Structure 1
Amino acid sequence: MNGPVIDYEAVFQALPAAVALLTPDLVYADVNEAFLSMAGRTREQVVGRYLFDVFPDNPNDPEATGVRNLRASLQRVATTGERDTMALQRYDVEDSHRPGVWQKRYWSPVNAPVFAADGTMVLLLHRVEEVTELVRARDARGDNDRPQALEAELYTRARELQKVNERLRKAHAREREVALHLQRAMLPLPRPLGHHRAAVRYQPATGALNVCGDWYDLVDLPGADRTTVAVGDVVGHGLRAAGVMGQLRSALSAASRVAEGPAQALEVLGLYARSVEGAESTTAVSVFIDWSRRTLTYSSAGHPPPALVAPDGAVTFLDGATDPPLGARPEHVARPQARAAYAEGSVLVLYTDGLIERRHEDIDTGLERLAVSLARHRAATPDALADALLEDLMAPAGITDDTALVVLRL
C-alpha cells in the first residue's frame, strides 16, 4: 500500500487528549504526554504501577467515590468487551510536590477495550478529560449556591448512571439467555446419516449480545444416496437475529429437499430472504454429498469456504463457486456451483466465520490456522475433531462472534 509509514507511538504521544493504556490487572502499560501533564506525574511515577497506587482516593474525604466508580467501569469493560462512558466524576489528586495536600478535580472519563489480532483483550484504554475549570466557572456564575451542591448533584447522577448500567446489564443477560434457549431449540442434534458419522457444535459468543446468528443443517435427501449439509450466518445479534436465523434455516432445509443442487437451493433462499426483514447480507454455504459417486457439489453465498481433508492430511478449501451474500444483488442472478471428488475416509468441515476470523487479521491467516489444525487431528472421530478445532482456534479470552461447526466423515 502506498503512503507514509505511520509511527503509531509518535501519534499516541502527540494526541491532545489524555490517554492511558492499562493491563486487565489495572497496571499502567503506557501513558501519553498529555496524560502526564494533566496528572502532574512523571513517566517513572506511573508506568508499571497499579492504577490506584498512583491515584488513591482521598483518605480525608469519606464520601469520595472516584476509585470505586472507576474500578467498576474498568471491570465492566474487561467483562463485556464494550466501551463504557462514565458520568462526570470528582476525583481528588494528591499534589506530587506536597504530600498530604489534595486538589479537588473533576473528570470526564471513557474506558474501552483493546484487542489483539487473535481476539484476546490485552489492554484497557482510559481516556480522560479534565473539566475542573468548567465546574469552577459554573460555581463562579452562581449556578449553584455552594460547591457542595454540585458535588451532591454529581454523586447522584453517577449513582443513577450506575443503576441504569446495572439494569441494562441484567436486561442483556436475560436476552442472551432467552436467545440461547431459542438457538438450541432450532439447532437440534443431527439425525443419524446412515452409517456416516457427523458432529455439530454451536459455540456462543462471550459478549452479552453477540449471539444467535449462526445455523447448521444436515439432511438425507429422499430417494437417493445423497446428503445435504449447510451452514449460515445472519448479520446481527440477539433475539432478532435468532428469529431470522430460524426462518432462513427452515427455508434452506426445505429448498434442499427439492432442488437439483446447492446453487438452486441458495437461489430459492435468496428470493425468500428478500421478504424477511433482517436477512440481508446473510451468508450461507450448501454442499450436496453423493455417497455412491464420492463427489461433493457445493455453492457459497459469500460464506467462508468448506474444508475437505484427505486421508493423507492434504487440506483443500472448496472456494470454486463463491457468490455474494443473500440480498447483495438488486436482481435475481443464477448462482454458481462446483464439484469436487473425495477419497473414502476424508473429512468435510463447514463452519462460520467466528471460528477463523480475528480483529485486524487477514482471513488467510485464519484459514491457514484451520488447515494446520485439521491436518493434525484428521484421524480423530468427528466429535473429537470438532472439540480439537474449537480448542485450537478459539481465542483464550473468548470469542466475539458465535460459531457453528459441522464435521462429517466421508
Structure 2
Amino acid sequence: MNPQIDYEAVFQALPGMVALLAPDLVYADANEDFQRLAGRTREQLVGRYIFDVFPENPNDPAAAGIQETQASMLRVVATAERDTMALLRYDIEDPERPGLWQEHYWSPVNAPVLGPDGQVVLILHRVEEITELLRARGGQAGGDGAQVLEAELYTRSRELQEVNERLRQAHAREREVALALQEAMLPAPSPVGHHQAAVRYQPATTSLNVCGDWYDLADLPGDSIAVAVGDVVGHGLTAAGVMGQLRSALSAACRVADGPARALEALGLYARFVTGAESTTAVTAFIDWDHHTIAYSSAGHPPPALLHPDGTVTFLDQATDPPLGARPEHIPRPQARTPFAEGATLVLYTDGLIERRHEDIDTGLARLADSLTHHRHTSPETLADDLLADLLPPTGNTDDIALVVIRL
C-alpha cells in the first residue's frame, strides 16, 4: 500500500534553508529552517518581493548580492535549468534592531520547478549559510586568516559579477535577435477593406527571451478574412523559428481550406514534422461580412471573445480540441459558427493576456469580459491598448501576448 505523503510537512521539515519564489521573485513559501536562520516569519516573507524583504546593506558600497542573486534567478526562469551560485556575502538587517547589519556568507542554489507546459512556475531557492565555517577557517589560518578569506571571497564575487554581466549581455543580444526575427515574421496586418482592426505583440517583461506567440490576418474571397493567433511552447530563437513556420503554414492553409477546422487540420499534420511544434495551441476564425457569421475552430487555445453592441460578451468555445500533436492519430477537428451584429467586436489573444499563476482561468476570462464591456465604445486601436492596460499586472507580464481586435 502506497503511503500518503504530506508534501507540505516534508517541505517544512527539510534540513537547511529552502524557499519557493514565483518567477517575478515574490516569495511563495519558506520552510522552517529558512524562517529561523533568516530571522523572518512566514508572514514577513510570503507574497513579498525578495529584495524588499532582504535589501542590500547600504553601508557596503561594494555589495553585489542583489545583482548576483537576481541574475541567477532570472537565468533559471529563462533557461529552466538549475543555477549554482558562487560563495556570496549578503548582509542581513537585524529584525529586532533596525540599522544593525549582520555579516553573512551564503552558498545558494536556484532550481526550476516546471508546470505541465514545461515553463518555470516556481524557483526553488536553497541556501547554506557558511558564515561560521569561514570564521572557523579564518581562525585556523591565523590572526589575519578571516581577512584573507574575505578578500578571496570578494575577488571571486567580482569575477562572478563579470561572468554574470557577460551572460546578461549575451542574453540581451539573443533577445534583440529574437525580437527582430519576431517582428519580421509578424508584420503589420494588411488592410481588411473598410473594416477596422488592431494588433499588438507584447513581449514578456520578466524573461530574457521571447516566446512563440503569433497572429495573422489573411484575405479570403468575397468580403471575408481569416484571423488566427497561436502560441508555441518554449522561449527564445528556437520557439520564434517554430512560430514562423507554423504561422506561414496556417496562413497558407486558411487561403485554400474550406473552413477554419480544415485549416487547423492541415496545420496539425504539418506540425508533426516540425521539431518543437508539439503542444502548440492555435485558434482560427473565418469572418464573413456578407452573411454576418463567424466560423471558428480551436486547437487547445483560449476562446475568442465576441463583444456585442449592447456590451455583453460571448466566448466562442463550442469548437475546442486538443493542441497540435496531442493525438497520436489524425482526427477531424470540430468547427462552429455564430452570427454577429454590425458594430460587434471580435478579440483573439494568447494566454498571457488572461492567465495568472495560482488563479483559475475563469477569473481571467471574467476580467477580460469586464474590460471589453467597459471600453465597448472605443476604436479597435484604443481598445487594444485599454485591454493591455487593464489586464496586465503592475509588475509586468510574465508571458508574451499576441492580441487581435477587429470591429465587425
Q: Do the structures match in fold with TM over 0.5? A: yes
* Matches of 1:31 and 1:208, distance apart in 2: 24
> Equivalent residue of 2:264, what SS?
helix
Go from structure 1 to structure 2 and tell me whether the alpha carbon gap of 1:284 and 1:33 turns closer, same or farther (over 3 Å shift). Answer: closer
* Matches of 1:225 and 1:280, distance apart in 2: 34
Q: Which residue of 2 aligns with 1:193?
A: 192
Letter of the structure 2 residue corresponding to residue 129 of structure 1: E
* Matches of 1:198 and 1:102, distance apart in 2: 57
Q: CA RMSD in A?
A: 4.3
Deviation at 1:71, TM superposition (A): 3.1
* Matches of 2:53 and 2:339, distance apart in 1: 59
How do 1:60-139 residues align onto structure 2 when only pairs under 5 Å count?
68-74=63-69, 76=71, 82=77, 86-90=85-89, 106-109=105-108, 128-132=127-131, 134-135=133-134
Matched, 1:386 2:381: no
Letter of the structure 2 residue corresponding to residue 268 of structure 1: A
Letter of the structure 1 residue corresponding to residue 262 of structure 2: Q
Q: 1:339 aligns with which of 333, 337, 340?
A: 337
> Equivalent residue of 1:396, what SS?
coil
Instruction: Single out whichever of 146-155 and 296-305 deviates more from structure 2.
Output: 146-155
Letter of the structure 2 residue corresponding to residue 283 of structure 1: T
Go from structure 1 to structure 2 and tell me whether the alpha carbon gap of 1:130 and 1:267 turns closer, same or farther (over 3 Å shift). Answer: same
Q: Which residue of 1 aligns with 2:351?
A: 353
* Matches of 1:267 and 1:133, distance apart in 2: 63
> Equivalent residue of 2:234, what SS?
coil
Letter of the structure 1 residue corresponding to residue 291 of structure 2: R
Q: Which residue of 1 aligns with 2:273?
A: 275
Letter of the structure 2 residue corresponding to residue 200 of structure 1: V
Q: Which residue of 2 aligns with 1:377?
A: 375
Matched, 1:17 2:12: no
Does the CA-based 8 Å contact 1:205-1:399 persist in structure 2?
A: yes
* Matches of 2:40 and 2:191, distance apart in 1: 67
Go from structure 1 to structure 2 and tell me whether the alpha carbon gap of 1:395 and 1:90 turns closer, same or farther (over 3 Å shift). Answer: closer
Deviation at 1:156, TM superposition (A): 3.4
Q: Which residue of 1 aligns with 2:119?
A: none
Letter of the structure 1 residue corresponding to residue 330 of structure 2: H
Does the CA-based 8 Å contact 2:40-2:95 persist in structure 1?
A: no
* Matches of 1:30 and 1:334, distance apart in 2: 45
Q: Which residue of 1 aligns with 2:116?
A: none
Go from structure 1 to structure 2 and tell me whether the alpha carbon gap of 1:77 and 1:313 turns closer, same or farther (over 3 Å shift). Answer: farther
Go from structure 1 to structure 2 and tell me whether the alpha carbon gap of 1:189 and 1:56 turns closer, same or farther (over 3 Å shift). Answer: closer
How do 1:87-236 residues align onto structure 2 when only pairs under 5 Å count?
87-90=86-89, 106-109=105-108, 128-132=127-131, 134-135=133-134, 150-222=149-221, 224-236=222-234
* Matches of 1:71 and 1:342, distance apart in 2: 53
Instruction: Single out whichever of 88-97 and 303-312 deviates more from structure 2.
Output: 88-97
Instruction: Single out whichever of 175-184 and 78-87 deviates more from structure 2.
Output: 78-87
Go from structure 1 to structure 2 and tell me whether the alpha carbon gap of 1:104 and 1:196 turns closer, same or farther (over 3 Å shift). Answer: closer
Instruction: Single out whichever of 170-179 and 30-39 deviates more from structure 2.
Output: 30-39
Structure 1 portions without partners, runs of 5+: 114-123
* Matches of 1:350 and 1:212, distance apart in 2: 17
Q: Which residue of 1 aligns with 2:306?
A: 308
Letter of the structure 1 residue corresponding to residue 158 of structure 2: R
* Matches of 1:406 and 1:29, distance apart in 2: 34
* Matches of 1:306 and 1:71, distance apart in 2: 41
* Matches of 1:76 and 1:301, distance apart in 2: 36
* Matches of 1:29 and 1:266, distance apart in 2: 39
* Matches of 1:11 and 1:315, distance apart in 2: 45
> Equivalent residue of 1:234, what SS?
strand
Q: Which residue of 1 aligns with 2:396?
A: 398
Letter of the structure 2 residue corresponding to residue 229 of structure 1: V
> Equivalent residue of 2:337, what SS?
strand
Deviation at 1:126, TM superposition (A): 7.3
* Matches of 1:220 and 1:334, distance apart in 2: 24
> Equivalent residue of 1:236, what SS?
strand
Q: Which residue of 2 aligns with 1:286?
A: 284
